[in-house]
Structure 1
Amino acid sequence: MARLPQRVAGASAGRRRAPVQGLPAQPFGYALLATLGVGAGLALLGALSAVATVLVYVGLALFLALALEPGIRYLASRGLPRWAAATVMIVGSAAVIALFVVAVLPLAVQQVGIFGAQLVDGLRELPDQAWYAWTTDNLVALDLNGLLSSLTGLLTDPQQLSVIAGGVLQVGTGLINGVTAVVIVTALTIYLAVSLPTMVSAVLRLVPRSRRDMTGSLLNEVLDSVGRYVSGQLVLATVNATFTLLLTVFAGSPAPILLAVIAFVAALIPVVGTVIGSILVVLATLTVSPVAALVVAIFLLVYMQVEAYVLSPRVMSRAVAVPGVLVIVAALAGAALGGILGALVAVPVAAAALLVINRVVIPYQETR
């Protein structure tokens, strides 16, 4: 009977020493470490957000350098040293850009004013058109007179023009940042174009020796494919702009150079860019006459077929073939994340990812 209390006491002491389920041994220490981890993650995200503009500059310079890479390699295969081939491509590109800025851009800006004045005159003359009178008499649901007066007042009201001028002034204040960005991107592009093989070799040193050859071959193929895609897109945009310029001059448009610039910028956007640029050109040609707009629309429709089935396969023959659905999804996702620049970059990135999947992921899955 004397041992029973000891057993009961021992059992109660064991129950007191049992750890509480669901809690760590040192909950405050774990909580402190978790808080420090979250804080470090937030600080890292803040740092990435702070340097986001710099990362955009570097990415844009890399894509421009890759666009110059096919030409540099072609000149290097003809016997020129790497630095000389890069110098020729950089100087040639700079000359083309300078010619555009000096000769084309001022005319395009001048034609903005001419096109705006002609647009206002055309809106004022709309009530005298027979089709306009028929539309206002038969389609009572549309208040075309009120819409026309509002649009004309917007373009001629001094107060509205002052608001627009204020917006232009804000754009002008951001011009300094734009010039700074151009200088930085240009310097980075020159550096990357000259030293791209050296940078690739430095990156490959971080890869184990057993996988270095395969990784180097894959990396060079990705860079070549992206470079061919970017340069090919520039060629197609130039052809589109040239055709638009000739067509709008033939149609009697008051701003052919402006429309050619719009067509060039729009054609850089994959899949839908040419369609958007063509629609804008046709709508602008309506200021000449509906017949001229119809003729321009027919010729642009024919050109889009030629570009899709003749020009694009020839220009993009050596680039990675990306399915149309993937191109559309990548362009939309890139536009949602980074606007026009994101749409331009998204398709080459998708092409590189598709190449990695075809060269690495699928063969690995086949061997399992």
Structure 2
Amino acid sequence: MSASDQTGRPRVPTSGRDVTELVPTGLRVSAALSWRFIVVIAGLYVIAWVAGYLSQLIVPVAIALLLAALMAPGVDRLVRWGVPRWVAAVIVMVAGIAVVGGLLTFVIITFIVGLPDLQAQIVASLDRLRDWLTTGPLHMRAEQIQNVIDDAIDAIQENQAAITQGAITTATTIGQILTGFLLTVFILVFFLYDGPGIWKFVTRGVPARVRDRVDVAGRSGFAALVSYVRATAAVALVDAVGIGIGLAIVGVPLVIPLSALVFLAAFVPIIGAVIAGAVAMLVALVANGFIPAIVVLAIVIGVNQLEAHILQPVLLGRAVRLHPLAVVFAIGAGLIAAGIAGALLAVPLLAILNASVRSLLSEEHTEPENIEVQHDDGQPPPDRPDDTNATSSP
């Protein structure tokens, strides 16, 4: 007579049988999700490690792609006007370098010219601070103030070796930046001249049955990048003009260099404006005093609120379709993983991935409206209407 369980049903021997069905369904699902999650995390870790190891190559390529998104519409417009593509690429490159170089030169010259006034205001502010320390509620003696200054000088002298090593490290970093700049320019030339050909070569590594969908997804991602760069430039310009006008009204020195700093920092969403505003407030505090610094702080907060509640939702929201929380998480992850470069490139990368994944998951196999498909010679196909907003994908 066979053994039976408490319910009276005969027991089925489990030796030699697959006992998978005896494992609870919830546990099987959890285990399947767990090992897949571990594999995905391991893959992302390997990708992050490789990207960090090759950062001196990847960062110039990424920056060149951003600049290509900004300049490609100009190249395509010249091509539609009958200009050969290599000539159009050279014209746009030279014009871009001239504008950026002229802006930097103007900022540097303005900073050098305004430096004596800033130094005079700093000396006056320090004198006022010294008077407040001696005649104010602290009632410090002149000897105590001098002792504090002497201690600071002694600390600097004692750490002279570390300061020198830091200067050497800074010089090395400047050399790496110059090398990266030259590499970025070199890559940008090819992106502008033969962007469609480069992208076509990349898609050859994709299986033929999904090649068309991957091609459209890549073009959708580049279109999102173009929209992101344009919207970010518009937001940065508004920030720079608004804060610059406020600084000029308050009477803060070096208005133009500080406005240029605000413009450049605004390309790093959220934290860039905060850092640039903090620098402007610090200059106002040192050069003009406490009350003007509070006024500058109010101006910076007002401009940031304008950006956060109007410019970002209207311009960037429509351009890249990203939730503000996703932007914050992307910036934080990029900052932790790769510092300033990671914070700068995190949101554009997220915008590309978002647009590409949306395209791959879409029901219809259609091309983005603002992408102009080009032949290998860079000319648009004759049977499509002329689109003044068309861009090419690198």
- TM-score over 0.5 for the alignment? yes
Deviates more, 1:172-181 or 1:259-268: 172-181
SS of the residue 1:319 aligns to: helix
Equivalents in 2 of 1:95, 1:181: separation in Å?
19
Pick from 105, 126, 141 the counterpart of residue 102 of structure 1: 105
Any stretches of 5+ residues in structure 1 without a counterpart?
1-43, 138-144
> Which residue number in structure 1 is paired with residue 316 of structure 2?
316
Find out whether 1:334 has 2:329 as its counterpart.
no
Equivalents in 2 of 1:256, 1:362: separation in Å?
48
Residues 239-254 of structure 1: pairs in structure 2 closer than 5 A: 239-254=238-253
TM-score, with structure 1 as normaliser: 0.71
Find out whether 1:196 has 2:199 as its counterpart.
no
SS of the residue 2:253 aligns to: coil
Q: 1:283 to 1:205 in 2, by over 3 A?
A: same
**Offset at residue 197 of structure 1 (A):** 0.8
**Offset at residue 283 of structure 1 (A):** 2.7
Equivalents in 1 of 2:338, 2:53: separation in Å?
16
Q: 1:192 to 1:148 in 2, by over 3 A?
A: farther
SS of the residue 2:102 aligns to: helix
Equivalents in 1 of 2:150, 2:350: separation in Å?
45
Deviation track 1:70-119 (CA, whole Å, cap 9, x = no partner) reads 44345445555543443332222111121023221243356567646644
Amino acid at match of 2:103: F
Q: Percent identity?
A: 25
Asked if the contact 1:237/1:265 (under 8 Å) is kept, the reply is yes
Q: 1:47 to 1:224 in 2, by over 3 A?
A: closer
Asked if the contact 2:65/2:191 (under 8 Å) is kept, the reply is yes
Aligned residues: 314
Q: Rg bigger for which structure?
A: 1
> Which residue number in structure 2 is paired with residue 185 of structure 1?
184
Deviates more, 1:121-130 or 1:264-273: 121-130
TM-score, with structure 2 as normaliser: 0.66
Structure with bigger helix share is: 1
**Offset at residue 223 of structure 1 (A):** 0.9
Q: 1:155 to 1:290 in 2, by over 3 A?
A: farther
Higher relative contact order, structure no. (Cα contacts within 8 Å, ≥ 6 residues apart): 2
Deviation track 1:171-227 (CA, whole Å, cap 9, x = no partner) reads 345433332222121111111122111111112223333322222111101011113
Amino acid at match of 1:193: L
Q: 1:68 to 1:154 in 2, by over 3 A?
A: farther
Pick from 49, 57, 62 the counterpart of residue 59 of structure 1: 62
Find out whether 1:270 has 2:269 as its counterpart.
yes
Q: 1:80 to 1:255 in 2, by over 3 A?
A: same
> Which residue number in structure 2 is paired with residue 351 of structure 1?
351
> Which residue number in structure 1 is paired with residue 96 of structure 2?
93
Q: 1:132 to 1:360 in 2, by over 3 A?
A: farther
**Offset at residue 312 of structure 1 (A):** 3.5
Deviates more, 1:147-156 or 1:102-111: 147-156
**Offset at residue 359 of structure 1 (A):** 3.2
Residues 114-263 of structure 1: pairs in structure 2 closer than 5 A: 115=118, 118-119=121-122, 121-129=124-132, 133-134=136-137, 136=138, 150=148, 154=152, 159=157, 167-168=166-167, 170-263=169-262
Any stretches of 5+ residues in structure 2 without a counterpart?
1-46, 365-394
Deviates more, 1:327-336 or 1:106-115: 106-115
Question: What CA RMSD, in Å, does the superposition of the two structures yield over aligned residues?
Answer: 3.8
Equivalents in 2 of 1:151, 1:88: separation in Å?
55
SS of the residue 2:136 aligns to: helix
> Which residue number in structure 1 is paired with residue 367 of structure 2?
none
Amino acid at match of 1:344: L
